Amino acid sequence: MLTIIKNGEIYNPEYIGKKDILLVNDRVYLIKENININENDLLVKIIDADGDYVVPGFIDSHVHITGGGGEGGFHTRTPEIKFSDLIYAGITTVIGCLGTDGITRSGEDLLAKTRALKEEGISAYMYTGSYGFPVKTITGEIKKDIILINEILGIGEVAISDHRSSQPDIFQLEKAAAEARVGGILANKAGIINVHVGDGERKLDFLEEILEKTEIPRKQFIPTHINRNIDLLEKGVDYALKGGLVDFTTSSSNDFYDNKKTKPSNSLKYYLEKGININNITFTSDGQGSLPEFNEEGEYVGLKVGKVSSLFKEVKDAVLKKEIDLDKALKVITENPARNLELKNKGKLNEGKDADLVILDNKDLKIKTVIAKGQIMLEDNKLKQKGTFE
């Protein structure tokens, strides 16, 4: 299978000029000016990108792909994600996770959905565990899960500083982190700990304490929802300035919050002004999870489903509203998550990497075309591949 994308402005995510890209099967084979193969050859698919932006496929590294929630009773359990929702959002690599509910939802079910998405044509991985401690695994051991199950990259989302957490003591988190790290080392994987940080006063205290007294490196942890409130956002500044990774959640934001510092595109701008290296920042959607609202007493008042489309929307807002350069803004959903998760063939648009890419309209940054592992999923806004039951 040969595909040539002609005349695109290539962001890999750094800008490398106007070039053609030749895809052979599921890999990027060649990037240069004027690639010409006999165009009468019916085996070559030509896509004219004509000045549009060609960028790496997006990575969303925190999605409740089997559904989430249930925090308002059983009828509030959110449904599984549809394959096409990911495609329309430009997401060619997804990492699935469980959240509050580790009882009616299981790691086995999450693994099956992860494999289903792979079979449907995108790249998919998962974290083992859910909010609670001890971390509930598939094989009975964190290390074993990471070493023996290809799709498992680490543990998550384990919850701290939250009224919905299992109120772990610091040792539980420390031991789980150690296991994830060693499992990662043995399997040549990231072995990261994706940490859900809640609204509680303790914020990032557990992480700082563990980092101070153990040899576990700071980058082993990826704390998420750092933009959930101003105080946590401020704590995150210190944490990131010390070299820590921070993740902003995009689906909890909406247009009412345009001027709020906690809107991810605004948070990104703020962190860059604070001198934080953009390589330390990622966005994830928290898609398909429920977005519960609680009052001051911690009582549940309402619910909605998180959208994966929020992932790129916030990057777009960072570029169009906050004037962050496209090559920079793209990093938080391409190169950075690929580096953090050690997905060596992802996140960059270079020769030899996986043929995962998105073509964006050069006027309004609208997603036009999506290619995953060399397969055209969306072309000129038209869906070419659907999920099995869509």
Helix 230-241 and helix 264-273, axial crossing angle in degrees, nearest 10: 40
Q: Which stretches does DSSP call E strand in 263-347?
A: 281-284, 293-294, 300-302
- 286 counts as catalytic: yes
Query: Toward Zn ion, which CB reaches closer, 13 or 337?
Result: 337
Query: Toward Zn ion, which CB reaches closer, 114 or 290?
Result: 290
Catalytic residue among 286, 317, 354, 356: 286
Shortest distance, CB of residue 249 to Zn ion, whole angstroms?
Answer: 7
Q: Is 194 helix (H, G, I), strand (E, B) or coil?
A: strand
Shortest distance, CB of residue 196 to Zn ion, whole angstroms?
Answer: 4
Query: Toward Zn ion, which CB reaches closer, 52 or 157?
Result: 157
Q: Which two tokens stand for residue 216?
A: 């576990």
Shortest distance, CB of residue 63 to Zn ion, whole angstroms?
Answer: 11
Query: Toward Zn ion, which CB reaches closer, 12 or 251?
Result: 251
Query: Toward Zn ion, which CB reaches closer, 196 or 235?
Result: 196
Cα three-residue angle 320-322-325, rounded to 5 degrees: 70
DSSP-derived letter for residue 57 is P
Q: What share of the chain is helix, strand, coil (3-state, %, to 5)?
A: 30, 30, 45
Q: Which residues bind Zn ion (CB under 5 A)?
A: 157, 196
Shortest distance, CB of residue 154 to Zn ion, whole angstroms?
Answer: 15
DSSP-derived letter for residue 166 is -
Query: Toward Zn ion, which CB reaches closer, 143 or 164?
Result: 164
Closest CA to 210 of 248, 250, 181: 181
CA–CA gap between residue 16 and residue 253 (Å, rounded): 32
Query: Is the backbone peptide bond immediately before 157 cis, with ω within 30 degrees of 0?
Result: yes
CA–CA gap between residue 362 and residue 249 (Å, rounded): 26
Shortest distance, CB of residue 99 to Zn ion, whole angstroms?
Answer: 5
Instruction: Please state, as a whole number, how many other Cβ atoms lie within 10 Å of the Cβ of residue 126.
Output: 28
Shortest distance, CB of residue 224 to Zn ion, whole angstroms?
Answer: 6
Shortest distance, CB of residue 159 to Zn ion, whole angstroms?
Answer: 7
Residue nearest to Zn ion (CB): 196
Q: How far apart are the first and last CA of the chain?
A: 25
The helix or strand, by DSSP H or E, that contains position 371, with its residue range, turns out to be strand 367-372
Query: Toward Zn ion, which CB reaches closer, 19 or 196?
Result: 196
- Catalytic positions, please? 286
